[in-house]
Amino acid sequence: MGQQCAEMKDVYLPQSATITEAEAMNVTERYLRLSMDDGPFDYIPGQFVEVSVGGIGEAPITISSSPTQSDGFELVVRKIGNVTNAIHNLNRGDKLGIRGPFGRGTYPVEEARGRNLVFVCGGIGLVPQRSFINYVLDNRDQFGEVAILQGTKSYNLRLFTSEVEAWGKRGDVQMLETIDEPDKSWKGNVGVVTTLISKVKMDLKSAMLLVCGPPVMYKFVLMELEKRRVPHENIFLNLERKMKCGVGKCGHCQVNNTYVCMDGPVFQYSELATMPEAI
Amino acid sequence: MSVKTITKDNFAKFVEVLIGQGNVIGVQAKGDRFDYAALKSAEDLRLDYDVTLQPPKKYFLPPAEVLMRCTAGGPYKSEYADQPFILLGVHPYDMIGINQMDELFKQDNCDAHYMTRRNSATIIACDVVKASANVFASSMGTAVVRQGYDVLLTDIGNDYVAEAATEKGQTMLANAKTTEADEAALKSREAVWARNKKTLNRHELKCTPSYLPKLLNRAYDHPVWEERARTCFSCGSCNLVCPTCYCFNMQDDVSWDLKAGTRGREWDGCLLDGFTEVAGGHEFRKHRFNRFRHRLYRKAKYVPEKIGGQIACVGCGRCVSACLPDIANPVSVYNRLLDDLGIG
């Protein structure tokens, strides 16, 4: 039987990368900058990598940096399982295995040019969104109005605080932040991220909305956008699943007939009409 | 390539030659049932079997396998299983299951681990002699197969008709004492095929298999999913015995001295609780009926969309036999939907 791979390449084999920067962001999140040991690494905002720690395992993590910024790429890893705990013990100079980047469903970089953009981020949802946010800000004249909505559970869990502050000071970005359970020192908005939607100074119906956060957030954000009659094709959602193999085989990330690792992780809301399991 | 006949005595001698040359896996009795196992003698081979407990997929996608090795914290190195073997006695429905897996593992990102095992195999398929208790291959159009194998055997009484379909098969068959198949032998083979297309049908699907994707387009919210899943144990037996279930998990193991590790994969099942769980505990198909429905949608809609419309249920009936609460039978679910929804 002439069954043969066109090229004898192991799609499961990680390539070696070196950690060039590592820093704790808060109690659960660790920031890493990585550089591939062999060859270039090109990616599009929204793509993810499979990160390996030898003998421990592999975890899918979406890239947080923008391809417009210096070489290498950045990840933010939440300490939540065996692999991510092991990653938290690594420092500058240590090695990691990387596969990818994966995902054909990236942020709609080309379609977004000239459009008004609203980023709706819940908690760690800022991390993947940051890739496209920085892409847009590095090519600021190519895009219309930009609003970034960030909701965080508590003050201590805020991420990229100096970067968020810098976005707010630019003058060409509406940076809106809210905290769900703030302490006394917080003087800003209080509540979940949906409470910020009415504060955006922009015609939402014609804007492109990019949404990323925990599963429960999508329901409430979509309800708000539905009330405002935002067309479904203008809404983009980042559906993170348990992408074990990353190459469309293992079945874990399947949402109805769609493999998130292949056709996602970013989907147009109108595409989800045939994917009732998505949200 | 030419079609031969071989007497059963000569076939037994041929099998002994193959066993002497290398690794032969053949269908054998296991208690009062049958399964694939390493063949030590031609006497143990039972080509008159009805169905094996496990499909032959485990020889291409083992229940657990090592994909690569690493030093702790260090780089991984791929490991391939390329030992040649002969798989003897694959029924048509299982051959079609293998053909579908070939396509799925080859497409998009070709899986070199699967393909290495697949290329190491020489497959001798054989037509069904005796229908098993739950087979419905006739309904699924999988009672007869004409591709994927290296040699196809058909029992026509005192002889087998043996047809080599590949160079590998032809070379192998050259070691056997055969004669050119005559008109009568070919007619007998046609008769076996015609019989099997009708009689491997303990459960009769009330539509053509090609209609199933269209049926499922209208069935997503039908009550049958919840009704059936109410007694589901989420045990994954249906996944385990299915020749077309190929979902897997990937995980690392580290040696006792923490100096080396392996990355392997092992079978997983979409019926098992936790299959869709992500970090943080959210589970996307939390309810049993979500998982039950997903499996039957994969068989008759999602996988077919990936492999040119072929239905990924080959009618072996193993899930029907394996399911303790007796809810897994795909034909009874699809027929129930047909009764309620009609052919629209």
Note whether A256 and A154 are same-domain residues. Answer: yes
Q: Are residues A142 and A98 in the same domain?
A: no
Q: Please give the radius of gyration of chain B, using alpha carbons only, rounded to the nearest integer.
A: 21
DSSP string, B31-88: TTEEEEEE-S-GGG--TT-S-BSS-GGGGTS-SEEEEEEEETTS-EEE------EEEE
Q: Are residues A65 and A126 in the same domain?
A: no
pLDDT in tens, B35-68: 999 999 999 999 999 999 999 999 999 999 999 9
Q: Are residues A82 and A36 in the same domain?
A: yes
List the beta strands (DSSP E) in B96-136. 121-126
* DSSP bridge partners of B123: B87
Indicate whether A8 belongs to any domain.
Answer: no
- Specify which residues A16 forms β-bridges with: A97
Token digits of residue B203: 């459960």
CATH number at residue A84: 2.40.30.10
Distance from CA of A154 to the nearest CA of B (A): 17
Q: Do B70 and A84 touch (CB under 8 A)?
A: no
Nearest CA in chain B to A86: B73
Token reading at A101 = 């980047």
Q: Is residue A22 part of a domain?
A: yes
| Residue positions counted in chain B | 344
Number of separate domains in chain A: 2
Among A102, A127, A252, A274, the residue to mutate for chain B (most B Cβ within 10 A): A252
Residue A174 belongs to a domain with what CATH number? 3.40.50.80
Residues of chain A with pLDDT under 50: 1-2
pLDDT of A1 reads 43
ipTM of this predicted structure: 0.92
Residue of B66, B276, B290, B295 best to disrupt the A interface, most CBs of A under 10 A: B276
Q: List, as ranges, residues 96-155 from A with C-beta within 8 Å of B.
A: 97
SS3 B14: helix
Residue A262 covered by a domain: yes
Asked whether residue A129 falls in the same domain as residue A258, the answer is yes
**Overall average pLDDT of the B71-83 stretch:** 89
Q: Which of A102, A131, A164 is the last residue of a domain?
A: A102
Q: Is A279 on the interface with B (CB under 8 A)?
A: no
Residues A44 and A139 in one domain: no
Q: Are B244 and B312 in contact (CB under 8 A)?
A: yes
Structural domain ending residue among the three candidates A78, A102, A126: A102
Evaluate if residue B72 carries a pLDDT over 80.
no
Per the prediction, chain B carries an average pLDDT of: 96
Residue A157 maps to a domain: yes
pLDDT digits (tens, 9 = 90+) for B112-166: 999 999 999 999 999 999 999 999 999 999 999 999 999 999 999 999 999 999 9
Q: What is the structure's pLDDT at A3?
A: 65
Nearest alpha-carbon partner for A244 in B262, B247, B249 = B249
| B281 → chain A, closest CA residue | A80
- pLDDT tens readout for residues A13-57: 999 999 999 999 999 999 999 999 998 899 999 999 999 998 899
Domain that holds residue A138: 117-274
Residues A211 and A262 occupy one common structural domain: yes
Could you tell me the residue ranges of all domains in chain B?
3-66+76-199, 209-341
* Mean per-residue pLDDT of chain A: 94
Assigned token pair, A9 = 């390449």
Q: Is A149 among the domain residues? A: yes
